Amino acid sequence: MTLISDHFTELKNKAVICCRFYVPLMLTMCFIMPTVVPWYYWGESIWNAYFVCACLRYILILNATWLVNSAAHMWGNRPYDRHISPAENLIVSWSAVGEGFHNYHHTFPNDYSTSEFGWKVNLTTLFIDFMASIGQVYDRKRPSTDTIKKRQLRTGDGTHTFGMFGCKQSCEENADEQKVQ
């Protein structure tokens, strides 16, 4: 019992530190540094540096972040569960470094890689795998290939690829091809 309470105490202490320093860190990294660096090192006017390098960058990043979630819920295929709104979207996957595998992520929330394809298109999974190789991550969880295929056949929309440009080959045809090989 003390191991668990020690673990939660450590987590609580880290959370308190993060919360205590969040506002100063956010202001420094989001507004002060992007303003001061171009002004000091490149001779940019302070107002241009503030409005373009800090404010405009912040606004664009926020909108890009929100677009990722919106696009991943609106456009694309639903190969794992056609009854939920999240979709597999190739454009979002490439532009957001793997976050376009939304249908898979919502269907299999316990998969650390958030995509059936692993790190081939998902740099976040590549980073987690690297951290595991140096001992910083452990207990990564993945559903079996059999579980994924069964779920595709049961609730999927009949596609086996992802994205707005994925081909419409049915899961049954794909399963038959794999049995032949």
* Most confident segment among 105-109, 116-120, 161-165: 105-109
Residues 100-119, mean pLDDT to the nearest whole number: 82
Integer Cα distance of 10 and 4 in angstroms: 10
Band of pLDDT at residue 50, cut at 50, 70 and 90: very high
Identify whether the C-beta of residue 133 lies closer than 8 Å to the C-beta of residue 164: no
Residue in 76, 78, 79 with CA at minimum distance from that of residue 175 = 79
Q: Is the pTM of this model over 0.85?
A: no
**Residue 18 φ then ψ, to 5°:** -60, -45
Return the pLDDT at 67. 85
Return the pLDDT at 118. 61
User: CA angle 143-145-149, nearest 5°?
Assistant: 105
Q: Is 22 helix (H, G, I), strand (E, B) or coil?
A: helix
Residues 81-86, mean pLDDT to the nearest whole number: 92
Residue in 145, 149, 159, 162 with CA at minimum distance from that of residue 93 = 162
Band of pLDDT at residue 59, cut at 50, 70 and 90: very high
